[in-house]
Amino acid sequence: MNKKERKAWIKSQPGRCMTEEEFSEVQGMTASELRSKSKLKEFYASVDKKNSEFKTRCTTLESFKSFNEGKGGADAGKLELTKTSLKDARKYALSLMPDLDDLIPNFDKNYTFAQSLAKKGHTKRKNMPVITSSDVKKFQKRLVKGRLDIVAPFSDRTNPNDPFPEGLKNSDAEKFVENGRKQYDGSKSDDQVSVDLVMISAKDLEPIQEQIYLDKAFGTIVKFGIEKTKEVMEKKILIASADNKIIDGHHRFLSALLIDKNLKLKVLQIGLPIDKLLPLATAYGDAIGNKRNN
């Protein structure tokens, strides 16, 4: 969702609209704060005191939380990591953070290391799966319980030559996320996949997305500050394959790398190799209605 679409969405909601400053501040809340009605109410109450033109507190807390979590369709950045030289990266970073070398003393080394990892990514951004933070628990549950039809014996509703079709909608999508059940494929355990929540150093993860943008990742650091960004990075969940290849969370991964490549990240590690997980996750994101990134 781009800036114009975001403004239109906000204006379409009952109650007053948020300013850009409000939206930015709310985006900086932790996941637990965003789930808390009282925290959001406190926030809106405080903004109303500062902004006299707003006469009523926002009444769309639930719809805003859903909007804030996002359902894909994010815009691309401008400074692609693999195509932006260290010289240009430093110039950009210094324009936003004049004391860069004091705050991130290893920026040059970290950036060069990040570039070397990013060159391994060969999947176009538009072909990457979109699984948002609000989708993670259900995705995890379906994998652990074997709800997704991943291996033979397949359900007669699954095409064995194309078990992970993209772009499914309506009844086809509903069937896709349940085809692994015993009543459909004859086995309760064949599609069960191990899923573990682990802490992994940023340097030990590997990106698969071809386009990762410096401005999106560094913008997060500037917005929250070094310490707050570290806290966010340690709490937000990335999704990765059994071989540590990232499925979701490439820009958070880059933010962490730029600060400290040894920073531990919370990773939902799925017990499938990337060549199996990537098409599965892409089909799943489509089936649950998430829009691909631009």
Per-residue pLDDT of 111-128, as tens digits, reads 999 999 999 999 998 899
The per-residue pLDDT for range 34-61, each reduced to its tens digit, is 556 666 666 655 555 444 333 333 434 4
* CA atoms of 258 and 106, how far apart (whole Å): 8
The per-residue pLDDT for range 146-163, each reduced to its tens digit, is 999 999 999 999 999 999
Lowest average pLDDT, out of 73-77, 102-106, 145-149, goes to 73-77
Given this model, what pLDDT does residue 52 score? 39
Confidence of residue 26 (pLDDT cuts 50, 70, 90): low
Average per-residue pLDDT for the chain: 83
Spatial neighbors of 157 by CB under 8 A, at least 6 apart, are: 149, 175, 179, 184
Given this model, what pLDDT does residue 77 score? 78
Structure tokens at 68: 């804030």
The per-residue pLDDT for range 164-215, each reduced to its tens digit, is 999 999 999 999 999 999 999 999 999 999 999 999 999 999 999 999 999 9
Residue among 206, 201, 183, 207 at smallest CA distance from 259: 201
pTM of the model: 0.73
* CA atoms of 243 and 142, how far apart (whole Å): 20
Given this model, what pLDDT does residue 107 score? 97
Spatial neighbors of 167 by CB under 8 A, at least 6 apart, are: 286
Given this model, what pLDDT does residue 60 score? 42
Amino acid at position 114, single letter? A
Task: Go through the chain and tell me how many residues it has.
Answer: 294
Cβ atoms of 159 and 210 within 8 Å: the answer is: no
| Residue 11 buriedness (CB in 10 A; 0-12 / 13-18 / 19+) | exposed
Given this model, what pLDDT does residue 125 score? 86
Confidence of residue 87 (pLDDT cuts 50, 70, 90): very high
Cβ atoms of 148 and 280 within 8 Å: the answer is: yes
Given this model, what pLDDT does residue 133 score? 78
Residue 18 has pLDDT above 90, yes or no: no
Tell me which of 270 and 292 has the higher pLDDT: 270
Given this model, what pLDDT does residue 64 score? 45
* CA atoms of 185 and 188, how far apart (whole Å): 8
Given this model, what pLDDT does residue 65 score? 43
Query: In which order are the strands placed within the sheet that holds 264-270?
Result: 195-201, 264-270, 237-240, 246-248
Residue 232 has pLDDT above 80, yes or no: yes
